[in-house]
Chains A and B, each alone.
Chain A
Amino acid sequence: MAVKLLKSKTGEASSHKYETLLKLTILSLGAILSFSTRLFSVLRYESVIHEFDPYFNYRTTKFLAEEGYFAFHNWFDDRAWYPLGRIIGGTIYPGLMVTAAVFHYVLNFFNFLVDVRNVCVFLAPLFSSFTTIVTYLLTKELKNESAGLTAAVMIAIVPGYISRSVAGSYDNEGIAIFCMLLTYYFWIKAVKTGSIAWAAACSLAYFYMVSSWGGYVFLINLIPLHVFVLMVTGRFSHRIYVAYSTLYCIGTILSMQIPFVGFQPVQSSEHMLAFGVFGLAQILAFIDYLKSKLTQEQFDTLFHAVFSLFGIIVIGAVSVLLITGKISPWTGRFYSLLDPSYAKNNIPIIASVSEHQPTAWSSFYFDLQLLVFLFPVGLYVCFSNLNDANIFIILYGITSIYFAGVMVRLMLVLAPVMCIMGGIAVASLLGKYIKDIDQGSKSHEKKTVKGRDSQQSQSRRSEISMAFVGMLTFFMVMYAFHCTWVTSEAYSSPSIVLSARSYDGSLIIFDDFREAYYWLRMNTPPDAKIMSWWDYGYQITAMANRTILVDNNTWNNTHISRVGQAMASPEDKAYEIMRELDVDYVLVIFGGLTGYSSDDINKFLWMVRIGGSTDRGSHIKEQDYYSSNGEFRVDREGSQNMLNCLMYKMCYYRFGQMYTEGGKPTGYDRVRSAEIGNKDFELDVLEEAYTTEHWL
């Protein structure tokens, strides 16, 4: 519908006031749309926080809101990573929590009594409304206002972005995309005007970005890349010099204020491009200055001498720093972007996370639909009309599409540029033809080639144009339908509350996760240590308020591996490990009764792999857990190791006496469609503490 409005806007561009009104209407509609389309899950379930990481963010935000910033900064969390603990202030990006806490504070100051949890739940949709507006501004700078409006409406509903910013997914990415686009907007402004004020604004936005997401590394490589390309193509000018120097100086100093980032901006290789380009910009500017003062011959001699001297010094300095280890090598996650097979072969813990998988074409289509095809068209339009700003958006598009191809989760970075390019493409597709339609009614049309055409061909042309515009509108409407469908089907279910359709079509809601956490909170001593697989770590600390061994911040591979070994060992061995780790309770998630497929048995192979990846767990081999045919089975034919390990025993304890599905024997596992192999057994060293209603 917004597209239609847009069309009428470009059509009746006569009255200035009317146009402004329409623009505002479209923008505010877009913003409201982007907010409301993300509310599916709240309407369907309730205002809960989704997934795993957001629980940690929620817990820290609550702490921040209650205790104040300085206590937050110095917070040593003894609930996580037992027995190591975790220094929260120094190991997270605080931007998200601070934002939410500020919103909470402001609202309460004006006596709108809102819970911290509700602020957290609705923060991501709110910021996506902001993103809509920023996208409009950015695209307006790149092309024109109609492109901006189209892009804004597109980004309001693009599934690739919604996937990370539905209500309740309270995660860094939710606000980081806003920060990123804001930074780009200011950067384009700074490049266009060359004013220090815009560049300073840009570095402030950059600071906000750094404080909220680790993905800022993409940003601090993209902007220097832009400057570099401008240098190579001979477009380097004083405007860019001013903009980049200001941004780099202020931005770097500000980013170093984040404790988690620390001295990385001047030490790690990821930031070296920015530093190198900064140096290059100084040199180029200096050369320009010298050129204006010296004769050509003097300049040439000086240039050669200085160039060779400088080159030797730089190479020497870099190699010394590399040898002494001052410049850190690239971190694993980043390296896995450059060499796609790196992570798969070397770090099982990175490969185990589904967000780090490569992207199949269907997920591109699923997340972007029409934009997949509009993007190249936008690219074409940008190429046929190159300027400083367009070069930036081209670079952004190409780099982000590469990264999105390597890792599904980086689709998020790609989605905004897809929308911007799509907006540009649609604007240039529509622009000409809408004018043609208008031509029939408007007499004061610009003098173009059309003036020479005969009256008859003009009317036919207007028909063709009408057909084309109609079809494009149809496609846009289809895009809107697709986006809504994807959002409601795929991205709006909080993984903490599950739902299923029963045979008569009514909705059953499984709330076993929360039941289990609540039980832990109420029935265990406050200093109990709970062992679970790392996915559930954040949720246990946030909802049950108990100490856990490992959580979703996977920085310590050996510790996670130890837990994996415990889960994969037979009971007596596992008991030793658990004594060593001082465990009181063990939590497993089992979906055999309800048919919930991402339970611990299905994650078990990753536990084995991660458990076996360190020295102490080298006796755990993946093959031992396969049946003789090389399959992963839980029934009679499963391997003995599998049927006797701790995880199996805990999951299927007393399951052998359960009838789960009509016509099937007892102990029938609905996820793996098999009757379990080891039915009657007793737990020797553990005892069953509590099993939730649906055995989850």
Chain B
Amino acid sequence: MATSTSRNIFVFSILLVFLAQWAAFGNASKRKEASTLSLAERVQQLTDLSNKRPVIRMNVAKFNEYVKGTPRNYSVVAMFTALSPQRGCSICGAANEEFTIVANSFRFNSQVFSNKLFFALVDFDEAGSIFQSMKLYTAPVFIHFPAKGKPQSHDKMDIQRFGVEAEAVARWIAERTDVQAVARWIAERTDVQIRVFRPPNYSGTMALIIVSIVVGGLLYLKRNNLEFLYNRHAWGLASLFIVFCMTSGQMWNQIRGPPVVQRTQNGISYIHRSSQGQLVVETYIVFLLSSAITLGMILVIEAGKGKADIRKRRVMLVAGLGMFALFFGMILSIFKSKAHGYPYSFIMS
């Protein structure tokens, strides 16, 4: 995480330098028409830019020059996004990372086409007018600008359907470029398949290693006395934990990957409105409530055992009873709000 931020800062500073240079250049050429640059020149410049950085950051002038300018013999895949922190677009950040992965992967493993396809980024805060001219009201949006003509409706990637994972973006780009590629590069065509190379994620492996070191170390230190493995309280707690995880639907979260909270008209909602789905926060709430109910009942049982003094036991009993009733009522009301038409309630409606 730390490395990536520092890298971002580094990139950002490069970008600043680069922008300054370009601004000077842009001012100089502004009076000419955008398409005065010849095709070869533009391709050359784009190639240079993308060699510096696979995703080319566009401002209005550059966008008109490279992406809108004709004639082209290259396609551009542009991501329209809003990266600045005050926009608060969290998915844009994620999409940006994935997009960069795609661009990098393309650069490194399809040299043949390196001047046929370029990756661009348009930020709303830098080039809002482009958003208006493209009639875009949301971000992030991926649009493919084909080598000939204007983008058609199918050249806009639907992130609702495809998701923003690098693999999905790559597949989408491959499909779109296929459309043109078939027409033009029939002879020389080898598929523009972008094999996505993800920077490997070591955190899982690291966690495993650390856990095994800790466990191994404990076993080694305690090798003379393995009694703690037979500790029934530890095992009991572990199995209770598993039970609560399962009954609160953590496995469902694991498989389906629901959102943490949901935004609705009435603000953020923590509870999914139908009994078919659930949110992550909701499962945590259920987890806590059900463990509280169980704790209440266990207190009641312990109070009945009659080892401690009478007053303490009475307090335990009443507390346990109260917890049981209160939290049961709460969980019932949550359930009732999910299952429409459920007739019963207790304490709370």
Contact = CB atoms under 8 A, between A and B. Distances in A.
Interface stretch (B7-15, B55-63, B123-131, B317-325): B317-325
A377 interface: yes
Interface in B213-255: 230, 232-233, 235-236, 239-240, 242-252, 254-255
A112 interface: no
Given A344-B255, A363-B275, A401-B246, A471 B321 contact: yes
Given A359-B251, A365-B331, A405-B252, A377 B301 contact: yes
Describe A's contact surface by its main secondary structure: helix
A623 B248 CA distance: 35
A428 interface: yes
Describe B's contact surface by its main secondary structure: helix
A379 B298 CA distance: 10
B290 interface: yes
Given A361-B252, A362-B275, A372-B290, A429 B297 contact: yes
Contact of B252 (A359, A380, A485, A628): A359
Interface stretch (A275-283, A449-457, A556-564, A573-581): A449-457
Contacts of A358: 249, 251-252, 254-256
Contact of A478 (B239, B252, B344): B344
A501 interface: no
B251 A405 contact: yes
Given A365-B335, A376-B243, A394-B239, A360 B278 contact: yes
B317 A340 contact: no
B283 A361 contact: yes
A425 interface: yes
Of listed B244, B277, B301, B341, residue having the most chain A CB within 10 A: B301
A433 B302 CA distance: 12
A406 B335 contact: no
Given A457-B310, A464-B314, A373 B290 contact: yes
Of listed A340, A468, A471, residue having the most chain B CB within 10 A: A468
A398 B339 CA distance: 27
B263 interface: no
Contacts, number: 149
B228 to A, nearest CB: 13
B195 interface: no
B335 A377 contact: no
A380 B251 contact: no
A170 B290 CA distance: 35
A381 B160 contact: no
Contact of B317 (A360, A373, A468, A629): A468
A114 interface: no
Given A364-B249, A432-B304, A377 B294 contact: yes
A228 interface: no
Interface in A445-487: 448-450, 453, 457, 461, 464, 467-468, 471, 475, 478, 481-482, 485
Interface string A438-450: 0000000000111
Interface residues of A, number: 60
Contacts of A448: 306
A93 to B, nearest CB: 28
B329 to A, nearest CB: 11
A405 B249 contact: yes
A518 interface: no
A474 to B, nearest CB: 9
Interface of B: 153-154, 158, 160-161, 230, 232-233, 235-236, 239-240, 242-252, 254-256, 275-278, 282-283, 286, 290-291, 293-294, 297-298, 300-301, 304-306, 310, 314, 317-318, 321, 324-325, 328, 331, 335, 338-339, 341-344, 346
Closest 9 interchain pairs by CB? Answer: A432-B304, A361-B249, A405-B251, A630-B161, A383-B236, A405-B246, A630-B158, A376-B294, A362-B275
Interface of A: 233, 340-341, 344, 358-366, 372-377, 379-381, 383-384, 386, 394, 397-398, 401-402, 404-406, 425, 428-429, 431-433, 448-450, 453, 457, 461, 464, 467-468, 471, 475, 478, 481-482, 485, 489, 623, 626, 628-630
28 contacts: A340-B251, A340-B255, A341-B255, A359-B249, A361-B249, A362-B249, A362-B335, A364-B249, A365-B331, A372-B247, A373-B297, A376-B291, A379-B239, A379-B240, A383-B233, A383-B236, A397-B239, A401-B242, A425-B297, A429-B304, A448-B306, A471-B321, A475-B328, A478-B344, A482-B344, A629-B158, A630-B158, A630-B161
Given A377-B294, A398-B243, A471-B321, 8 more contacts: A359-B251, A373-B297, A376-B294, A379-B236, A398-B239, A401-B246, A453-B310, A468-B321
